[in-house]
Structure 1
Amino acid sequence: MTSTRTTLYEGRYLKLQSRNGWEFVVRRHGVAVIVAWTPDDELLLVEQYREPIAGRIIELPAGLVGDEPGHEHEDILDAAARELEEETGWRPGKLTEIMQCPTSAGMSDETVLFVLAEKLVKVGRGGGDDTEDIVVHRVRRSIIDQWLDQHRAHGLAIDPKIYAALYWTLKT
C-alpha cells in the first residue's frame, strides 16, 4: 500500500484527504476533553448547538489546542484549563492526563486527550466566548444516569465520551 496522501479540500480547522482509496478528515490541532467533578461531587457538562448534527448536545467541556491567536503553540493541559474556565466558569487546581484515543478512526485521524480536572474553584459564569451559546450543567454523581436518560428523552444528543469518562471514573 502507498502512503501518499492527496488533499481534496482544506479549511481553517480540517482537511479532507484521500489515501489508498479511503477518504478521511485530518484535524490540524489536538483536542482536550475535560472530566471535572466539583467539590460537591457534580460532573460539569455543557450543552450547546452543534452545526454538523443541526441540534443541541450534552458534552464534557472540551476544546481545540492552539486554535486561538496567541495560543498557537499552547500545551494541551494549558488548553484544557483555559477551555474549562471559559466554558464552565471553573478553574482547575490540578490537571492529570487520563487517556488519549481516536474519536472515529474510520473517518478521521482526530484523537482526544481526556484530562481529569481536580481541586476546582468557581471563578466565573462560564458560557463560552462571544461566538458560543453554552449552558453549563452540574450533575450529581448519584443521578447522572437518570439525568442523561431524561435529557436524551427530551431530544438532546448525548456525547458518548461522557460514558467513557464515567467508566474511567468508576474504575479508579
Structure 2
Amino acid sequence: MNANNEGGSTSNHPYYEETISTDKRFDGRIISLQVDTVRLPGGATATREIVKHPGAVAVIAVLDGKLLVVEQFRKPLERMQVEIPAGKLDAGEEPEAAALRELEEETGYRAKSIRHVRTFATSPGFADELIHLYFADELEAGQAQLDEDEFLDCDALTPEQADAYIRDGRICDAKTLLAVLVWRHYRQTGEFGA
C-alpha cells in the first residue's frame, strides 16, 4: 500500500483537501505533530492536526500451532497489553527487514521466511502511520535483544487462549485483533483472505 495514493483520494478527487500551509508544532523521537491549513471542497478553509509517524511492522508468528505474543506495559493506556511482535521502521529501513528484526529482538525467534499479509492505516483521521503486517511460521531459536527501555515477556497462545484474551480485554489493540482474525482465517482456509 502506498501511503500517498493507494486506495484513497488523489488531488483530482472532488473531496480533495488542498494544503495551504503547514505549521510544525512538535518533533519527537517517534512522532511529530503538524497543523495543516486546508482548502475544503466548497472553498472554505479548515485546520487538520496531523501526527506524522515513520511507519511500523507487525508479525503474525506461529510456533508449533501457537501465536507468539509479547506482554508489556503501555503507558498511554496505563496497563499491561498482550500484542503481536511489532515496532517502528528505522530511517530508510525496508518493512520486511524491520519485521525480521523486530521478531527476533522481541521474541528471540528468527523467521526462515516471511510473507507480507496487509498494510493498513492505524488512525487515518489524525495520523499517517501505516503498519505492514507479515506472517511467519517457519521459526528457529535466536536471541532476544530488547531495547534498553523495553521490558516485556514473550508467550505463545493457542487459538482458544487468544480468543479468551480478546474477551478479557488483555488483547485490545487493532493490529493484534486483526492478526488473530487473519490467523483464524489462515488456519481454516490456508489463505490470508482477500
**In 2: Cα distance, 1:8 partner to 1:140 partner:** 44
1:111 to 125, 130, 138: 130
**In 1: Cα distance, 2:100 partner to 2:27 partner:** 29
Match of 1:25 in 2: 51
**In 2: Cα distance, 1:157 partner to 1:41 partner:** 19
Task: Please say if residues 56 and 157 of structure 1, whose CA atoms lie closer than 8 Å, have aligned partners that are also in contact.
Answer: no
* 1:10 aligns to 2:34 (yes or no): no
**In 2: Cα distance, 1:127 partner to 1:84 partner:** 10
SS at match of 1:73: coil
In structure 1, list runs of 5 or more residues that go unmatched. 67-71
What amino acid maps onto 1:36 in structure 2? A
2:172 to 131, 150, 158: 158
SS at match of 1:46: strand
* 1:145 aligns to 2:171 (yes or no): no
Query: Number of aligned pairs?
Result: 160
Task: Please say if residues 32 and 113 of structure 1, whose CA atoms lie closer than 8 Å, have aligned partners that are also in contact.
Answer: yes
Report how far residue 127 of structure 1 moved.
6.9
**In 2: Cα distance, 1:130 partner to 1:57 partner:** 19
Match of 2:5 in 1: none
Q: Return closer, same or farther for 1:98/1:60 CA change in 2, 3 Å cut-off.
A: same
Task: Please say if residues 127 and 136 of structure 1, whose CA atoms lie closer than 8 Å, have aligned partners that are also in contact.
Answer: no
Task: Please say if residues 104 and 145 of structure 2, whose CA atoms lie closer than 8 Å, have aligned partners that are also in contact.
Answer: no
Task: Please say if residues 56 and 86 of structure 2, whose CA atoms lie closer than 8 Å, have aligned partners that are also in contact.
Answer: yes
Task: Please say if residues 127 and 134 of structure 1, whose CA atoms lie closer than 8 Å, have aligned partners that are also in contact.
Answer: no
Q: TM-score, normalised by structure 1?
A: 0.84
In structure 2, list runs of 5 or more residues that go unmatched. 1-16, 39-46, 186-190
Task: Please say if residues 159 and 184 of structure 2, whose CA atoms lie closer than 8 Å, have aligned partners that are also in contact.
Answer: no
* 1:87 aligns to 2:111 (yes or no): no
2:140 to 121, 135, 146: 121
Q: Return closer, same or farther for 1:58/1:105 CA change in 2, 3 Å cut-off.
A: same
Choose 1 or 2 for highest CA Rg: 2
Q: TM-score, normalised by structure 2?
A: 0.75
**In 2: Cα distance, 1:23 partner to 1:78 partner:** 31
**In 2: Cα distance, 1:165 partner to 1:110 partner:** 17
Q: Deviations over 1:30-78 (max 9, x none)?
A: 200111111x101011111122222211111001111xxxxx4222111
SS at match of 1:77: helix
What amino acid maps onto 2:100 in structure 1? A
SS at match of 1:158: coil
**In 2: Cα distance, 1:115 partner to 1:53 partner:** 25
For CA contacts below 8 A with separation 6 or more, give which structure has more relative contact order.
1
Q: Deviations over 1:85-143 (max 9, x none)?
A: 1101111000111111100111211110001123111223x372322111111001243
Report how far residue 163 of structure 1 moved.
1.9
Q: Return closer, same or farther for 1:157/1:144 CA change in 2, 3 Å cut-off.
A: closer
Q: Return closer, same or farther for 1:157/1:99 CA change in 2, 3 Å cut-off.
A: closer
